[in-house]
């Protein structure tokens, strides 16, 4: 028993640093954001840059867009980077989030199995394609998680006047990568952002079916959190991060990101081009 | 199958190459889960011993609660600890959410019932007549407790293994209260989810091998102590 006690004490001493000295609140910025900015690796490049430039320490909470916005609206974050314009505008109108500005965009696309059971390959209108998928009862995998991608997918069904339902409509409840895997396995259609598709390109046999429609724009905006939302919101830190995302140097980094790995950029920077989807030029091809 | 073979091959390369990010993640996991297990031992051993040796009204209810707690879903603990630690929550002043300390707290909550439950069973297995005999020989209450705990020490090593094994491999609580922040709160399991999400299956496989080797190594050391003393 004595030897065991000794082992315990030695372990306590060795592990003591695990409880870290908490950085003063004002130097820590909490960023709530969507999974695609993290999974694409963009934040791994931008966050260290911001920390070096400003001395702030960033805690990046990467969750679905719905949750990221809800956390920010509760004052559990200081700044948010999301991609669900309609939902974002709702929060801005309520006053919980403020100063919404466009940062960058890329596009969504409908992908599906080579066999293309709903015959949508090459369609110009994504709404027509969604109608055909529903009419053919072809399998479709939805994120089903209130993410930016899911919210966009729901708006497409609404445009098409279709209420998707089982058995052909499958809700994965998982991230984009896992959802692509399920769609691949089930030979189903799904809507994906281009960055994740590029990252998973080699793992799935799904082919691009519909792309280039204006409805498929994927626009990322930064918003500051209203300090009135809750106690301890670091308004200055949130403002600094938002300003950083829009700075010319940062926008240049975004423009170059992904070229070395995928041979094409994953995001197009658009800071300063207004705050509405209508201000964005046609999607990339 | 190709992914698996290629994954294992790359995993070995990453591990032998001493990839710095993987070392950081490994060290943090060890620190966090080790500290949480220690806290659980400090709370659980006395609690388990007291429950085993006393009788009071409602004791069965408490023991049932402990036994239920042994299977406490980490994601439930994660949710409630998150809400407690929110800026707007009752412990918001501590500014502890998304820090390693928050993961330690959540994991200690997960491991404590496990340690308590196993200690309770181990101490109860020491025959009651043995305790009476100690009193008859003139032992004080405290001396009796010391001797009984020493008798139960071998089964109690299982408490350490079960507690540590439970928390180092849990994901729900670490993800929710830690936030999987690079270099700060990224543990072996949360990193695995992230790398899988990114499509980096080779790194995810490397991390899972590392986790298995780590848990096996620690269990091996403890089992060696346990079995040697059992002879």
B interface test, pick of A50, A59, A233 with most B CB neighbours within 10 Å:
A59
How many angstroms separate the Cα of B47 from the Cα of each of B52, B117, B127? 9, 9, 19
Q: pLDDT of B92-138, one tens digit each?
A: 888 889 999 999 999 999 999 999 999 999 998 888 888 888 888 88
**ipTM greater than cut 0.85:** no
CATH superfamily of A27-105+218-279: Periplasmic binding protein-like II (3.40.190.10)
CB atoms within 10 A of CB A115: 10
Query: Which domains, ranges and CATH numbers included, belong to chain B?
Result: 2-230 (1.10.3720.10)
Entry pTM: 0.81
Q: pLDDT of A130-144, one tens digit each?
A: 999 999 999 999 999
Q: Which of B98, B150, B198 sits opposite A61 (nearest CB)?
A: B98
Mean pLDDT of chain B: 89
CB atoms A39 and B35 under 8 Å: no
φ and ψ at residue A235, rounded to 5 degrees:
-65, -40
Q: Which of B3, B86, B199 sits opposite A200 (nearest CB)?
A: B199
User: Is pLDDT at A81 greater than 80 in this prediction?
Assistant: yes
Helix (H, G, I), strand (E, B) or coil at A22: coil
Q: How confident is the model at residue A166 (pLDDT cuts 50, 70, 90)?
A: confident
The mean per-residue pLDDT over the stretch A210-229 comes to 92
CB atoms A61 and B34 under 8 Å: no
User: Is pLDDT at A226 greater than 50 in this prediction?
Assistant: yes
Which residues on chain A are in Cβ contact (under 8 Å) with B150? 1
CA of B57, closest CA in chain A: separation in Å?
A: 32
Answer whether A27-105+218-279 and A107-216 agree in fold: yes
CA of B121, closest CA in chain A: separation in Å?
A: 19
Pick the CATH number of A107-216 from 1.10.357.10, 2.40.40.20, 3.40.190.10, 3.40.5.90: 3.40.190.10
User: Is pLDDT at B58 greater than 80 in this prediction?
Assistant: yes
pLDDT confidence of residue A24: 44
What is the gyration radius of the CA atoms in chain B, in angstroms?
21
**Residue predicted with more confidence, B35 or B228:** B35
The mean per-residue pLDDT over the stretch A15-40 comes to 70
Whether residue A172 lies within 8 A of chain B, CB to CB, comes out as no
Cα separation, A14 vs A200, in Å, equals 41
The mean per-residue pLDDT over the stretch A235-261 comes to 93
In this structure, the strands spanning A57-62 and A217-225 are unpaired
Q: How confident is the model at residue A114 (pLDDT cuts 50, 70, 90)?
A: very high
The mean per-residue pLDDT over the stretch A172-190 comes to 90
CA of B58, closest CA in chain A: separation in Å?
A: 32
CB atoms B99 and A22 under 8 Å: yes
pLDDT confidence of residue A23: 41
CA of B199, closest CA in chain A: separation in Å?
A: 6
User: Is pLDDT at A154 greater than 70 in this prediction?
Assistant: yes
Which residues on chain B are in Cβ contact (under 8 Å) with A74? 86, 88
Sketch the domain layout of chain A as residue ranges. Answer: 27-105+218-279, 107-216
Which residues on chain A are in Cβ contact (under 8 Å) with B104? 18-19
Cα separation, B222 vs A140, in Å, equals 50
How many angstroms separate the Cα of B101 from the Cα of each of A56, B185, B210? 20, 9, 23
Whether residue A67 lies within 8 A of chain B, CB to CB, comes out as no
CA of B60, closest CA in chain A: separation in Å?
A: 30
In chain A, pLDDT over 70 holds for what percent of residues? Answer: 87
């Amino acid at each position: 028993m004595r030897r065991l006690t000794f082992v315990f004490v030695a372990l306590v001493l060795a592990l003591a640093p695990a409880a870290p000295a908490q950085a003063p609140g004002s130097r820590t910025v909490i960023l709530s954001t969507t999974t695609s900015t993290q999974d694409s690796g963009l934040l791994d490049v931008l966050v260290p840059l911001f920390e070096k430039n400003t001395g702030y320490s960033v805690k990046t909470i990467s969750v679905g867009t719905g949750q990221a916005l809800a956390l920010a609206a509760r004052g559990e974050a200081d700044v948010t980077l999301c991609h669900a314009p309609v939902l974002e505008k709702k929060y801005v109108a309520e006053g919980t989030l403020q100063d919404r500005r466009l940062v960058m965009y890329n596009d969504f696309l409908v992908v599906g199995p080579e066999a293309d059971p709903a015959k949508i390959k090459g369609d110009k209108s994504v709404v027509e394609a969604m109608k055909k998928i529903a009419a053919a009862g072809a399998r479709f995998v939805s994120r089903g998680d209130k993410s930016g991608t899911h919210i966009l997918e729901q708006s497409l069904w609404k445009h098409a006047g279709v209420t998707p339902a089982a058995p052909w409509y499958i809700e994965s409840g998982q991230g984009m990568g896992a959802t692509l895997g399920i769609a691949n396995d089930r030979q189903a259609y799904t809507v994906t952002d281009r960055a994740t598709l590029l990252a998973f390109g080699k793992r799935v046999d799904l082919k691009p079916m519909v792309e280039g429609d204006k409805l498929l724009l994927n626009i990322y905006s930064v918003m500051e959190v209203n300090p009135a939302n809750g106690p301890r919101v670091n308004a200055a830190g949130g403002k600094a991060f938002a300003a950083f995302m829009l700075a010319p140097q940062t926008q240049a980094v975004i423009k170059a990101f992904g070229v070395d790995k995928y041979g094409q950029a994953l995001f197009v920077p658009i800071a300063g081009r207004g705050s509405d989807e209508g201000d964005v030029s046609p999607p990339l091809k | 199958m190709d992914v698996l073979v290629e994954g294992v091959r790359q995993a070995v390369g990453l591990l032998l190459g001493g990839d710095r990010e993987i070392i950081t993640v490994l060290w943090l996991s060890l620190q966090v889960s080790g500290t949480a297990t220690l806290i659980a031992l400090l709370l659980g051993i006395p609690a388990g011993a007291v429950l085993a040796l006393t009788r009071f009204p409602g004791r069965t209810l408490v023991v049932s609660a402990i036994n239920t707690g042994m299977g406490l879903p980490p994601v439930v603990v994660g949710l409630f600890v998150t809400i407690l630690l929110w800026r707007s929550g009752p412990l918001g002043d501590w500014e502890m959410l998304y820090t390693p300390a928050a993961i330690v707290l959540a994991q200690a909550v997960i491991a404590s019932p496990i340690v308590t439950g196993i200690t309770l069973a181990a101490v109860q297995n020491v025959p009651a007549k043995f305790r009476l005999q100690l009193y008859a020989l003139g032992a004080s209450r405290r001396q009796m407790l010391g001797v009984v705990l020493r008798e139960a020490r071998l089964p109690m090593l299982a408490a350490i293994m079960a507690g540590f094994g439970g928390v180092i491999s849990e994901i729900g609580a670490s993800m929710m209260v830690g936030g999987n922040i690079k270099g700060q709160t990224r543990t072996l399991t949360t990193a695995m989810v992230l790398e899988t999400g990114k499509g980096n299956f080779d790194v995810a496989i490397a991390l899972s091998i590392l986790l298995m080797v780590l848990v096996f190594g620690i269990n091996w050391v403890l089992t060696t102590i346990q079995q040697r003393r059992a002879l």
